Amino acid sequence: MIGQTNILVIYTGGTIGMVQDPKTLSLQPLTFDILYKYLPVLENFNCRIDFYTFEPLLDSSNMSPSFWIHLASVIEENYEDYDGFVVLHGTDTMAYTASALSFMLENLNKPVIFTGSQLPIGMVRTDGRENFINSIEIAAAKDVDTPVVPEVAICFENKLYRGNRTSKLNAENFGAFISGNYPILAEIGVHIKYYDNLILKPNFKKLRVLKELDENIAILKLFPGISQSSVDAILTTRGLKAMILETFGSGNAPTAPWFLEQLKEANSRGIILFNVTQCKGGSVDMGRYETSASLSKIGIVGGYDITTESAVTKLMYLLGCGFSAESVKQLLQTSLRGEMTV
């Protein structure tokens, strides 16, 4: 069909693809040969929808960098044959996977839309139907043959978010995600309202998929009463190259001498220390208070308003590229895929 849009749906696992067996009442993975039974409206789309199913299917709690590499490879292998991609994924780690793909898919000029659901698609009240249909429509949307959303995004509960700006907020409500520091890219009502000024623009360069990820990182989440031994256990992890320091408020941390000395010693050993706020909204402002000025003097890198999910995957990506520690520090403070406001 002339002008037909081709969409590849990639099913990795998760709640959205589960249906209830009428005899045992247990949840089983959906087979896409019966998808149109649950979503007959898909027949009305002027696009061809093909499916790629991961084997085995994975609960999102089991996602790993090797999975991200596999997923990026599937998109790379099918990139020229499709106009957009919809990835069905469990919600628990969707923000991590979407963030990782945003960094790995350099020069992305087509939509990669992640979605899932809180209830299985075979259930009467499922949110999966709307999420799936909306994602297909967004992945297929074009403006004079140019994709409307040429970036990695998450479509959930009638909102479209930049993938590397999201965090899962709620385990029970249909509105599962939040983007505390960046507005939504689109709002879905009677019409889909795209906020074009917020969406990344295509550069029309050839896709480059970067598949080297370095997992030698850690997260240290601060809390009142954190012990010297627990901090030491993380900072002396064998092979550690970088640590995300989840701080209070606008980047604040204890000023206890032992704590600052441990961070200083780690920094002197070449371990990259990345200051990211625990808050779901707001930004790290190194030096605003005395409790963050001490970190700045040590040489800790401020993460501005980046999410922990994005910080984790960005570090893995940068370290995997083989950059020097100084280059990694510089790039951590640079917005590469719209993941932070500098």
Residues known to be catalytic: 15
pLDDT-derived band of residue 1, with 50, 70 and 90 as boundaries? Answer: very low
Is residue 225 located within the same domain as residue 167? no
Instruction: Among 7-21, 140-154, 196-210, 282-296, name the one with the lowest average pLDDT.
Output: 282-296
- For residue 168, is it within any domain? yes
- For residue 338, is it within any domain? no
- For residue 337, is it within any domain? no
State whether residue 329 is helix, strand or coil: helix
Is residue 157 located within the same domain as residue 98? yes
Which of 158, 183, 209 marks a domain boundary? 209
pTM greater than 0.85: yes
pLDDT digits (tens, 9 = 90+) for 115-159: 988 887 777 788 878 999 999 999 999 998 899 999 999 999 999
Is residue 182 located within the same domain as residue 293? no
pLDDT-derived band of residue 2, with 50, 70 and 90 as boundaries? Answer: very low
Q: CA distances (Å), 292 to each of 249, 261, 275, 285, in order?
A: 10, 14, 9, 8
Is residue 283 located within the same domain as residue 171? no
Is residue 84 located within the same domain as residue 202? yes
In the sheet with 242-247, reading across from the earlier edge strand, the strands are 217-221, 242-247, 272-277, 301-302
**Overall number of domains in the chain:** 2
Is residue 148 located within the same domain as residue 30? yes
- Cα separation, 192 vs 212, in Å, equals 36
- For residue 37, is it within any domain? yes
Is residue 241 located within the same domain as residue 198? no
Q: What is the CATH number of the domain that holds 321?
A: 3.40.50.40
Closest CA to 136 of 40, 18, 8, 11: 8
Q: Which domain holds residue 143?
A: 5-209
Is residue 189 located within the same domain as residue 224? no
- For residue 49, is it within any domain? yes
Is residue 86 located within the same domain as residue 231? no
Q: What is the mean pLDDT of the chain?
A: 91
Is residue 197 located within the same domain as residue 280? no
